[in-house]
Structure 1
Amino acid sequence: MTATTDKKPEGVEGMLADNISCGDDLQSQFALQREAFAAERYPSLASRLDRIRRIVDFVVDQQEAIVAATVKDWLHKPAAFIKAVEILPVINHAKAVSKRLPSWLRDERRKADFPFNLLGAKAYIRYQPLGVVGVMVPWNGPVAMAMVAAIDAFSAGNRVMVKISEYSPAAAAMLAETLPRYFDASELSIVTGEVGVSRAFAALPFDHLMYTGSAGTARHVMAAAAQNLTPVTLELGGKSPVLVDRHADLQYAAQRTVSGRLINAGQGCITPDYVLLEAPCLEAFIEAASQAIRQLYPAELQGRDYAAIATNAHYQRMHELLDDARASGARIIEIDVGATTERRQFSPVIVVDPADDSRVMQEEIFGPILVVKTVADLSAAVDYVNAGERPLALYYFGHASQAKQQLLAQTHSGGVAINEVMLQLMMSDLPFGGVGHSGMGSYWGGEAGFRRFSHAKSVFEQGWYKKVAAMMDPPYGATLEKMLKLGMKKIPPRS
């Protein structure tokens, strides 16, 4: 069904995607979507593409409203940056999914086993919509993460309910007010409210629940979902390390690391968290990093292009992390970028060789503090990474093929970028997801989201000779004995 920006398509009950708060009945909203799904269990390609197109219509039409709401929540964030991270990725993802969706909807042929394959039998997989998908998004990118997840869920043929973080009240209000112009509540609805609403949302019997945020909260979300045996996708974070080879271009490595660390003032799930390098490289790297910060954010621009810290509590936490690192004996290098307390901006800081038990080494920093730590060699760096929780991203700067293969083989992370940072997330054909402490399940890139929100239904169709399976029926005799002898053989070693 086609819709324009000023006329919403008719849906079950003809309801609008109202702002659902603590006093409203989440169960009734869920029931509405469940009813709508029951009436359209396998949406057509045209219907799926139309819903994806309307998401693009929304972010393009409402781009200034998205910017205004984001600035209101954050106090300060450059408009161009907001559009680059909250709007453009949604459009790019929608285009990539729309282009490839027709091929994903085709049955995936598999080979039927002997002897059925000789007798006309067919085996294939059909990707079936799950039903109603719940999506919980964090405060550091609520619009993009909500819309990208909705695109993936729509591509798979589902209905979607999205809970926006209570720390993004302006963005939540904007989404709740404007999305009903594009979507019926039976297709896509926005849920707002405080922690109590989030708990109730996670407890709904969704057909799949996706949560993006902290590992601590993820435990509660997963426990709530378990009561309904709801499968979950968790996109978390962790301390994403940067390993710098002794022969790497230190100036380039420092510039790219700093660029990634300070984007959104370090408030991103895959931003570089700490750097591991050999002691002889330390001072050159620090000098290059300091210079890169000044070039990216000249003090005379007074923090114009430098994002604020999202909340007062998070701003205070940055000071606490720094105080703790200083107390542990670490060297602290602060770079002036014209940051102001009125904008809740926190100046970039390089922390050198803090103690392993300091907070900056134990917690995900999620701010504009970059830790640089020395190790004996690359193998020691790999051991250091493996001793901690598995990160969402890992970065390597260097050109030695053996070192690169060592790192890829011996470390675990959600994704890797080599001689760059964060661009693994921007590749439209690469899935995005964590491993272990940094999450479970992938979406976003390629067909990962389509498959994440689908059920791979196995289908067998009997061929023209319908008596073949009956050979295994009792009473057992010589025919079954022959089949067993044919099948019970060891796998020969490969030459």
Structure 2
Amino acid sequence: MTDNSTFSSPIEPAQLLAAQRAVFHQKGAPTLDERRADLSKLRKILIANRRQIETAVNTDFGHRSRHETSIMELAGTVGGIDYLIKNLRRMMRPEKRHVAIHMRIGSARVEYQPLGVIGVMAPWNYPVVLALMPLATAIAAGNRVMLKPSEFTPTVNALIERLLGELFPVEQVAVVNGDAAVGAAFSALPFDHLIFTGSTAVGHKVMEAASKNLVPVTLELGGKSPIIIEKNHPLDHASAGIVFGKLVSGGQTCIAPDYALVHEDDLAAFLDSYDAAVASAYPDGPSSEDYTWVFNDRHLTRLNGLLEDARTKGASVREVGRQGKNIPTRAMRPTVITDVTNDMNVAHEEIFGPILPVFTYRTLDEAITFVNERPRPLALYYYGHDNAAQRKVLDGTTSGNVTINGTIMHIAQDDLPFGGVGASGIGAYHGIEGFRRLSHAKGIFVQGRWNSITLLRAPFGKLADRILSVVLR
């Protein structure tokens, strides 16, 4: 096979996997210099094609702020690649481990070796960074990669396929395009590791398919990520950060704040503050150049259905920010929902759009309980300067990651792992955790010329009894 092709049957990706694995076994692990060179090539081509990438993403979305694409997709990927290049020598270095005293003279170490062929399944909402950051991590760990992007971003996919085809032979990196049936077949291939980013519902299917070949998985899923705002915290500060995290890319971000928990005494002030912050960020309302549309009509119908269900069941629905003029159909106006009850769909479904349910609490313990009564989220946000309260929230809740006094910026910290827990995901990448996730930690013990363990060989006698009495005292 000599070129990147678009596959339509499960057989061809299987043949591609076999070809990549054969070359991996033939050539072995790439050197530090080879890995750095590959990462540098990827970095260079992304920067050189910035405008084309911005245009491709905008085409698939209908309208997405080019600044958001460069900030969230390109800067995130380039920054992650820079981190890998800088720290790769340290990551690859064998680690010395402790040897029990009765095993000395001897030495123990862990060496990290590539797994082989990594499968990456990327979603439509961030079609660049969520495809290329796992790919870069896999390359850093010395692996070969098969990438299955979302069928809903054909323009971006074609560009990525072309760019990767210019950099890598298909036996090293290949793109497999296709619909949901191709995706299902892809997830059933016997990879050495499979990374999937997407919904929890699809994540169940991916994990089930992978389990038939005992393929280890990293699942980045999502869920309802909460914001807790401390009583009397400056609301203009909180609102500005929440607007950024909630409305970037039209709210279609896996770690976007899904709902807010506000002290009951601060509710009215928060609603006004959030309204003002939305108006400040998008002075022309939903028709602002910087405001991203809902991805397609199906998602718009789903979001409107959440609003209608909430209204019908007694919630208060309030559009916020400026109204704007000549608003395109999919430029959904930011909305706040209050008086939400447990029987409303918006209380349980991941929103993935510019809708913010707001709940009230009376005590911090009550807010923590509210979070813990729901599946563990991919992210949690806390606004407040009380160190004891921060500690209480950190200790009292379990989530993938946390940003304090801000939103979503934990993902921009290249030295932190990123991933979910429970229903929001399995495993983590980014940082050294990503390198290790896509490596095999091989434990190695080198026995010295003399080792006291030789005294515990048959035939056993009194000496063995005396040694055991000491070891097992």
Give the structure-1-normalised TM-score. Answer: 0.93
Q: Aligned AA for 1:351?
A: I
Is 1:95 aligned to 2:79, yes or no?
Answer: no
8 A Cα contact 1:434 1:441, kept in partner: yes
User: Which one is further off, 478-487 or 152-161?
Assistant: 478-487
Is 1:53 aligned to 2:67, yes or no?
Answer: no
8 A Cα contact 1:236 1:434, kept in partner: yes
1:486 CA displacement: 2.0
Aligned pair partner of 1:286 in 271, 276, 279:
271
Could you say which residue in structure 2 is the equivalent of 1:346?
Answer: 332
Could you say which residue in structure 1 is the equivalent of 2:376?
Answer: 390
1:349 CA displacement: 0.2
Is 1:214 aligned to 2:203, yes or no?
Answer: no
Is 1:72 aligned to 2:59, yes or no?
Answer: yes
Aligned pair partner of 2:21 in 6, 31, 34:
34
Q: Aligned AA for 2:68?
A: F
1:92 CA displacement: 0.6
Give the whole-Å Cα distance in 2 for the aligned partners of 1:434 and 1:365.
17
Aligned-residue sequence identity (percent) comes to 37
Q: Aligned AA for 1:384?
A: F
Q: CA-to-partner distance for each residue in 1:175-227, whole Å, 9 max, x for gaps?
A: 22332111111111111110110011001100000100001001110011011
Q: CA-to-partner distance for each residue in 1:64-87, whole Å, 9 max, x for gaps?
A: 221221111111012122111121
8 A Cα contact 1:19 1:177, kept in partner: no
Secondary structure at 1:275 match in 2: strand
Could you say which residue in structure 2 is the equivalent of 1:84?
Answer: 71
Give the whole-Å Cα distance in 2 for the aligned partners of 1:232 and 1:337.
44
8 A Cα contact 2:232 2:266, kept in partner: no
Could you say which residue in structure 2 is the equivalent of 1:324?
Answer: 309
Is 1:364 aligned to 2:337, yes or no?
Answer: no
User: Which one is further off, 34-43 or 94-103?
Assistant: 34-43
1:42 CA displacement: 1.5
8 A Cα contact 1:18 1:177, kept in partner: no
Give the whole-Å Cα distance in 1 for the aligned partners of 2:285 and 2:85.
44
Q: CA-to-partner distance for each residue in 1:63-120, whole Å, 9 max, x for gaps?
A: 2221221111111012122111121111111111100101111110001111223x2x
1:338 CA displacement: 2.6
1:477 CA displacement: 2.1
Aligned pair partner of 1:464 in 441, 449, 468:
449
Q: Aligned AA for 1:484?
A: L
1:21 CA displacement: 3.5
Secondary structure at 1:461 match in 2: strand
Q: Aligned AA for 1:230?
A: V
1:449 CA displacement: 1.1
8 A Cα contact 1:297 1:303, kept in partner: yes
Q: Aligned AA for 1:474?
A: A
Give the whole-Å Cα distance in 2 for the aligned partners of 1:242 and 1:31.
46
Could you say which residue in structure 1 is the equivalent of 2:421?
Answer: 435
User: Which one is further off, 24-33 or 313-322?
Assistant: 24-33
Secondary structure at 1:399 match in 2: coil
Give the whole-Å Cα distance in 2 for the aligned partners of 1:301 and 1:135.
34
8 A Cα contact 1:415 1:424, kept in partner: yes
Q: Aligned AA for 2:188?
A: A
Is 1:260 aligned to 2:252, yes or no?
Answer: no
Give the whole-Å Cα distance in 2 for the aligned partners of 1:465 and 1:348.
72
Aligned pair partner of 1:412 in 394, 398, 402:
398
1:101-112 to 2 correspondences below 5 Å: 101-112=88-99
Give the whole-Å Cα distance in 2 for the aligned partners of 1:17 and 1:125.
36
1:357 CA displacement: 2.0
Give the whole-Å Cα distance in 2 for the aligned partners of 1:55 and 1:353.
49
1:485 CA displacement: 2.2
Secondary structure at 1:17 match in 2: coil
Could you say which residue in structure 2 is the equivalent of 1:142?
Answer: 127
Is 1:480 aligned to 2:467, yes or no?
Answer: no
Structure 2 portions without partners, runs of 5+: none
Q: Aligned AA for 1:40?
A: K
8 A Cα contact 1:18 1:176, kept in partner: no
Secondary structure at 2:128 match in 1: helix
8 A Cα contact 1:382 1:411, kept in partner: yes
Could you say which residue in structure 2 is the equivalent of 1:5?
Answer: none
1:276 CA displacement: 0.7
Secondary structure at 1:395 match in 2: strand
Q: CA-to-partner distance for each residue in 1:212-255, whole Å, 9 max, x for gaps?
A: 00010011100110110000000000000001111322221122
Secondary structure at 1:128 match in 2: strand
8 A Cα contact 2:102 2:453, kept in partner: no
8 A Cα contact 2:195 2:218, kept in partner: yes
Q: CA-to-partner distance for each residue in 1:351-392, whole Å, 9 max, x for gaps?
A: 112112211111000000011111221100100100100000
Structure 1 portions without partners, runs of 5+: 1-12, 490-495
Aligned pair partner of 1:160 in 133, 138, 145:
145
Give the structure-2-normalised TM-score. Answer: 0.97
Q: Judging changes above 3 Å, is the alpha-carbon distance between structure 1 residues 300 and 460 closer, same or farther for their aligned structure 2 residues?
A: closer
Secondary structure at 1:142 match in 2: coil
Secondary structure at 2:101 match in 1: coil
Give the whole-Å Cα distance in 1 for the aligned partners of 2:296 and 2:287.
20
1:186-205 to 2 correspondences below 5 Å: 186-205=171-190
User: Which one is further off, 204-213 or 163-172?
Assistant: 163-172
Give the whole-Å Cα distance in 2 for the aligned partners of 1:288 and 1:342.
26
8 A Cα contact 2:145 2:174, kept in partner: yes
1:339 CA displacement: 7.1
1:169 CA displacement: 1.6
Secondary structure at 1:133 match in 2: strand
Could you say which residue in structure 1 is the equivalent of 2:115?
Answer: 130
Secondary structure at 1:25 match in 2: helix
Give the whole-Å Cα distance in 1 for the aligned partners of 2:87 and 2:215.
28
8 A Cα contact 1:20 1:190, kept in partner: no
8 A Cα contact 1:353 1:374, kept in partner: no
8 A Cα contact 2:10 2:185, kept in partner: no
Give the whole-Å Cα distance in 1 for the aligned partners of 2:101 and 2:350.
53
8 A Cα contact 2:252 2:352, kept in partner: yes
Give the whole-Å Cα distance in 2 for the aligned partners of 1:393 and 1:243.
12
Q: Over the residues paired in the alignment, what is the CA RMSD in angstroms? A: 1.5
User: Which one is further off, 265-274 or 332-341?
Assistant: 332-341
1:61 CA displacement: 2.2
8 A Cα contact 1:156 1:453, kept in partner: yes
